[in-house]
Amino acid sequence: MRIEQDSLGKKKIPDGALWGIQVARALDNFPISGTPTNLELIYAYAQVKKACTQANMELGLLKPALAKPILKAIEEILSGKHDGQFVVDQYQAGAGTSTNMNLNEVIANLARQRRASRLISANDHVNMSQSTNDTYPSALRVAIVTAYDGLDANLKILEDSLKKKGTEFRSIIKSARTHLRDAVPITLGSEFAAYAKTISDFRFVLAQSRAALLVLGLGGSAVGTGLNTHPKYAALAIRHLNKNTGYAFKKAADLIESMQSQKQILQYASALKLAAVEISRIASDLRLLSSGPHTGFNEINLPAVQSGSSMMPGKVNPSILECVNMVCYRVIGAEAAVTQAVLGGQLNLNVNMPLMASELLHATNILSNVTRVMAQKCIRGISPNIERNKKHAYASSALATVLNPIFGYELMAELVTEMSGTGESLPEIILRKKLMTEKEFTKILDPRGMVY
């Protein structure tokens, strides 16, 4: 053990720890979830620290003899070499100061090892021109923008898989359903194509929310005033950040407002919720369409991925889609937590950033992963039960809608009632009553002519 001291007193720190006394106090104070801060946030924060250090060195505020060991330490962190040193719980003191100091202390200790000197300070040098108030929300935005790329790529895989099935199933006639009751004929392909369009639409909404996150309050330091920063520092730090990450972040027009409001974070959470709601709806539809096989709709076959029961031999469940539903429910819940966190901001700072980070990064990752699995292990393997779909299309009483202009509503209502009593299909009743010839009703009642 080694002894470190701060304004609150002395504390023992394990010799192998690169973190210091502020992290040690956070470990004592917040043994909450047992889950440390998300590493994606740590890497994003390291990128912010790197850009800030480069800006300070370029402005002459930080001598190269100090800046270069700091930058080398940051590169080691970004390589994943020191992941185990980021130990602060995801639930911690407000604003994320403990996470910021976890970065500062680890970077400083690594830099000291390189320089063989105690001159490098976690606060004075690694944290120069910075406050948790501006760097934590900036780091969170960098982390979300980075995670978004993977999410959008997997959503595109899902969209393409559904679109392909829409083409494959375009000639398969079935009965539509409204109110969970028989409706007019439709093609199985048009249903899948509609699912693909839904995903395309909310991918656009997500992209818009991602664009809003490119605006950073970096350089505002405490409360957005830019106190203790060089006039050119903010723009220069963001320029370095963009060069290092390949993104196009820009400085907020009002740095004080950027500390007060986290509306862009809520906008992204809401877009994520929209995606989860629609994906879950599609998953539930597919579970209904595959229900049975003998007592349900049984219009499509889902690929079997595992045994469905520990006691019923041969039972196969829609396991992938069940997982999709559960993940979507979790993402929807994340939006509720973020809403409360955003509205809980007070005066010149929202201290609830660690909760926002925990919820949104987790939600983004699990939704990304489950959409990829849904596409690869479920959608791509779906096959249709063609005769079952055709039977349902012709058995639907909604076929009567097509004949309303010919025979009138009242007569068709009587025929539909008769269908229920006799169990005959509408074409069978029409033929028996000689209301049409077979050639006439085949032409008029061909469901293929009723769908686009």
Q: Which pLDDT tens digit goes with each residue over 365-395?
A: 999 999 999 999 999 999 999 999 988 988 8
Are 327 and 263 contained in the same domain? yes
Whether 309 sits among the annotated catalytic residues: the reply is yes
DSSP 23-75: HHHHHHH--SSS-BPPHHHHHHHHHHHHHHHHHHHHTTSS-HHHHHHHHHHHH
Look up the CATH number of the domain holding residue 307: 1.20.200.10
| CA dist list (Å): 444 to 187, 402, 449 | 17, 8, 8
Residue 249 and residue 214 in contact, taking contact as beta carbons nearer than 8 Å: yes
Q: Which of 171, 309, 310, 425 is catalytic?
A: 309
Convert the pLDDT of each residue in 99-144 to its tens digit: 999 999 999 999 998 765 668 999 999 999 999 999 999 999 999 9
> Is 400 or 297 the better-scoring residue by pLDDT?
297
Please say which residue of 365, 385, 405 terminates a domain: 385
Residues of the domain holding 403: 396-449
Amino acid at 276: A
Are 170 and 104 contained in the same domain? no
Residue 52 and residue 135 in contact, taking contact as beta carbons nearer than 8 Å: yes
Look up the CATH number of the domain holding residue 424: 1.10.40.30
Predicted confidence (pLDDT) at residue 50 exceeds the cutoff of 60: yes
Q: pTM for this structure? A: 0.93
Residue 361 and residue 143 in contact, taking contact as beta carbons nearer than 8 Å: yes
Find the helix or strand (DSSP H, E) in which 333 lies.
helix 319-343
Predicted confidence (pLDDT) at residue 452 exceeds the cutoff of 70: no
Q: Is 372 inside a domain boundary?
A: yes
Distance (Å, whole) CA 19 – CA 9: 17
Residue 321 and residue 306 in contact, taking contact as beta carbons nearer than 8 Å: no
Are 166 and 276 contained in the same domain? yes
Convert the pLDDT of each residue in 23-37 to its tens digit: 999 999 999 999 999
Q: Is 230 inside a domain boundary?
A: no
- Give the confidence band of 323 by pLDDT, cuts at 50, 70, 90: very high
Rg (CA), the chain: 30
Q: Is 249 inside a domain boundary?
A: no
The confidence score (pLDDT) of residue 451 equals 66
Distance (Å, whole) CA 260 – CA 120: 32
Convert the pLDDT of each residue in 199-242 to its tens digit: 999 999 999 999 999 999 999 999 999 999 999 999 999 999 99
How many domains in the chain?
3
Are 13 and 157 contained in the same domain? no
